[in-house]
Amino acid sequence: MVCSEPGPPSAPQCSPYPQPSPYPQPSPYPQPSPYPQPSPYPQPSPYPQPSPYPQPSPYPQPSPYPQPNPYPQPSPYPQPSPYPQPSPYPQPSPYPQPSPYPQPNPYPQPSPYPQPSPYPQPSPTHSPALPTAQSLPTAQSLLTAQPYPQPSPYPQPSPYPQPSPYSQPSPTHSPAPTHSSHGPPQTQSPQYVPLAEVMAMLEKVLLRGASDQSQMRRRAPPRRPADRIDGFTEMPCIICKADDHSAFSHCREKRLCFQCHAPGHSRRDCPGKRTVPEHQEN
């Protein structure tokens, strides 16, 4: 406390402030003060002094994030994140969004079928489609593919009547050429007759092949091995006693052995298969 010289009785004798004042005169702060009095902040300040954060702040002002924070606090996700950082998956995702597959997955997880599949791939029961009559070349296409001279040396249209009034030559008999009183003599080229016969035979072969193929499709399918087991294709099911399916459908759906009704193998590889004489297998 600094004491001044004796003065009037009403004046304080000792001032609590240092003399002369260390603050600049006049004061650089606006008068009166624009801040509310008394201060609404707690005194003394609960924050550490000096501030541990860098000055000025390196973050953009104002903040680009929404205020107040829309995410729940504290975060429901585990901290730190259990997923590898940065993510090993390509960004952005190459898969279509939203996913075209049904959500949630309707198939049971994990899959009840053995992995990898015990059945041979590709399936031996599926054979490529046989050629049909439409896919085979026609006689006309084969005829036009022959290397005939272009343009044709014969007059177009033909001066001979169509269809021809003369009988077609037999493979074993060639009739003698006849003459017409109304037109020039009819002559047949020795090269034309064999070619016509070949084309006719080719058409017969193609038609016969198409009919044989349709007959093969109408044949009854071969007897399945499951038909040899008594009651295996009849209802009710001899395994689960259900009335809406047979034991054959039950084993097919559950991928069970036809012999012992156990999963993981087929009837051919069944360890408990009984020895059957060879003539009964056939």
In a domain, 54, yes or no: no
In a domain, 37, yes or no: no
Domain count, the chain: 1
Q: Is the pLDDT of residue 249 over 70?
A: yes
Residue 133: which pLDDT band, with cuts at 50, 70 and 90? Answer: low
Token code pair at residue 203: 């058409």
Contact (Cβ atoms closer than 8 angstroms) between residue 169 and residue 189: no
Q: Is the pLDDT of residue 58 over 90?
A: yes
pLDDT digits (tens, 9 = 90+) for 173-222: 444 444 444 444 444 444 455 788 888 888 888 888 777 776 666 665 55
Distance CA 106, CA 99 (A): 14
Whether the full predicted model's pTM is greater than 0.85, yes or no, is no
In a domain, 242, yes or no: yes
Confidence at residue 261, expressed as pLDDT on a 0 to 100 scale: 85
Tell me if the bond preceding 163 is cis, omega within 30° of 0. yes
Residue 154: which pLDDT band, with cuts at 50, 70 and 90? Answer: confident
In a domain, 265, yes or no: yes
Confidence at residue 177, expressed as pLDDT on a 0 to 100 scale: 45
pLDDT digits (tens, 9 = 90+) for 93-121: 898 888 888 888 888 888 888 888 888 77
Q: Provide mean pLDDT across the span 226-249.
A: 81
Confidence at residue 228, expressed as pLDDT on a 0 to 100 scale: 64
Where do the H-state alpha helices sit in the chain?
139-144, 192-218, 247-254, 278-281
Contact (Cβ atoms closer than 8 angstroms) between residue 232 and residue 258: yes
In a domain, 279, yes or no: no
Rg, Å, the chain Cα set: 52
Q: Is the pLDDT of residue 124 over 70?
A: no
Confidence at residue 144, expressed as pLDDT on a 0 to 100 scale: 58
Confidence at residue 268, expressed as pLDDT on a 0 to 100 scale: 84
Residue 6: which pLDDT band, with cuts at 50, 70 and 90? Answer: low
> First CA to last CA across the chain, in angstroms?
126
In a domain, 236, yes or no: yes
Domain carrying residue 239: 228-269
Of 54-68, 221-235, 263-277, least confident by mean pLDDT is 221-235
Residue 82: which pLDDT band, with cuts at 50, 70 and 90? Answer: very high
In a domain, 245, yes or no: yes
Confidence at residue 254, expressed as pLDDT on a 0 to 100 scale: 86
Distance CA 254, CA 114 (A): 11
Q: Is the pLDDT of residue 279 over 60?
A: no
In a domain, 218, yes or no: no
Q: Which of 183, 118, 194, 193 is nearest to 155 (CA)?
A: 183
Confidence at residue 118, expressed as pLDDT on a 0 to 100 scale: 85
Distance CA 159, CA 180 (A): 13
